[in-house]
Amino acid sequence: MMKRNSTDCVKTGTCLTRLKNQYHLWLFRAEGQKNLAQMDTRMLKDIGLTEADRQQEISKPFWKG
């Protein structure tokens, strides 16, 4: 396996792509946490989660999936 160094992604243009992808993942997680926080008990039950599950998920920082 080839070892990458920090200049490899700059040369190939993948740094910006990887950064953009990470940013979109964080936005997706943050939006999911926001939606989860707004669900009532019935909605949580419909998706198979408890209040404790919700609390655990929404207490996580968005960057730690």
- The predicted pLDDT at position 59 comes to 95
pLDDT in tens, the chain (65 residues): 556 665 666 666 788 899 999 999 999 999 999 999 999 999 999 999 999 999 999 999 988 87
Do 54 and 44 touch, CB atoms closer than 8 A? yes
Separation between Cα atoms, residue 65 and residue 56, nearest integer Å: 12
